Amino acid sequence: DTAVSQTPKYLVTQMGNDKSIKCEQNLGHDTMYWYKQDSKKFLKIMFSYNNKELIINETVPNRFSPKSPDKAHLNLHINSLELGDSAVYFCASSLGTDNGQPQHFGDGTRLSIL
């Protein structure tokens, strides 16, 4: 059983399109995250939800909108895709927001903008 699953694994699309990435975790965790990993491999937090409530909203263009319908799901919708959005997007979850909780990552979604 996959603990944190993301779909799709690969996403190739054209500039200007709108796309969504879905994430689900079956670990019973309360906290979920979206990260962006660029070509230099830097991992940067974008959003975090705790019990469906947004707790982290980094300086991300408002073309990016997260949505958490329940504790087990955190989706990411991106409007008007741009070339600079090409990256690997990782979903992760942790038991809670406590400092001692490790994060469990999904396999990532490789987004390529043509």
Partner 1 sequence: QQPVQSPQAVILREGEDAVINCSSSKALYSVHWYRQKHGEAPVFLMILLKGGEQKGHDKISASFNEKKQQSSLYLTASQLSYSGTYFCGTRYSGTYKYIFGTGTRLKVLA
Question: For 83, which DSSP code?
Answer: G
Min dist CB 20 to partner 1, Å, is 20
The answer to whether 22 and 107 have CB atoms below 8 angstroms apart is no
CA torsion angle 88 91 92 96 (round to 10): 140
User: Using CB under 8 A, which of the segments 18-26, 43-51, 64-72, 74-82 binds partner 1?
Assistant: 43-51
Question: For 85, which DSSP code?
Answer: G
Q: Tell me the site size for partner 1, rule CB under 8 A.
A: 22
- For partner 1, the binding residues (CB under 8 A) are 33, 41-45, 48, 50, 55-56, 58, 90, 97, 99-100, 102-108
